[in-house]
Amino acid sequence: MKKLVLYGHPESGHSYKVKLLMDVSGIDYEYQLVDIDLAREDRPEPFRSLSLPRFGEVPLLTHGDDVYVQSNAILCFLAQHLESFGGQDGNAMARAMEWLFWEHNKIGLCLPHLRLARNFFPEQYPVGAIEWLQSRYDADVGRFAKELSDGRPFILGDAISIADFSLAGYVYWANQAEVELPAPVLAWAKRIARLPGWKLPYALLSPERPYVSYGKILGELDIMTEPSLVVA
Ligand SMILES: N[C@@H](CCC(=O)N[C@@H](CS)C(=O)NCC(=O)O)C(=O)O
């Protein structure tokens, strides 16, 4: 049987969505934390050689000699490999992929950037960028909440799919992005947090030692108890 190895980093919601699916599924794999503060050329092997020709980023997944990059593409591979989370039938996979493409262009753009701009690197964002990202977030999270407002447990219905894992990438850092989660999205995030194998991103992505963040807001969402998700 070919071995699965996932490379990721604790500040990476793109890594989180992939590792979360793998942990919830219970699949056997090895995890390697890559120090992305190192220049790409200085990162340890085999990650350096595997990643440099293919965008240079985490997450990266190997399955034997096969290499997979881009978080949502990795989710598609895993769903088909596991024949689960949407990968068990063509129609479910097509519907899940609609959400993966939506996520990457919409909430997967504004939410990570609001987090970077407000919590880590404000100096890198030009005047007006945060307001623009916030307006994008308001529209995108509104669309997401509307989808869930009929009370369905997960995006595609009763069962969790890769669409949910993709959308969950940065949601538990809403406090660091200083954004609110509408009630249906919060309820959905809590539902995911009750799944066996779920952990907050830093614990999930740094399993061997507690990870210490360097942002302005160090903590993550207190998902089960936090009544208000706005952090000033
Ligand atoms: N579109 C990519 C984005 C991946 C990405 O932005 N990775 C970041 C961490 S979240 C990274 O590797 N940064 C370090 C680098 O670019 O060298 C995906 O979906 O996987």
Sign of the CA dihedral 136, 137, 143, 144? positive
Q: Is 71 in the pocket of ligand 1 (CB under 6 A)?
A: yes
Question: Tens digits of per-residue pLDDT, 83-134?
Answer: 999 999 999 999 999 999 999 999 999 999 999 999 999 999 999 999 999 9
Q: Does a structural domain hold residue 144?
A: yes
Domain that holds residue 136: 90-195
Residues 51 and 130 in one domain: no
Residue 30 CA to residue 98 CA, distance in Å, equals 29
| Ligand 1 neighbourhood includes 14 CB (under 6 angstroms) | yes
The pair of three-digit structure tokens given for residue 48, joined into one six-digit string: 């350096």
Residue 108 in domain: yes
Residue nearest to atom 11 of ligand 1 (CA): 57
Which of 6, 9, 12, 19 has most ligand 1 atoms within 8 Å of CB, for mutation? 12
Do residues 53 and 110 both lie within one domain? no
Check pocket membership of 56 for ligand 1, CB cut-off 6 A: yes
Which pLDDT band holds residue 230 (cuts at 50, 70, 90)?
very low
Q: Residues 36, 78: one domain? A: yes
Structural domain total, the chain: 2
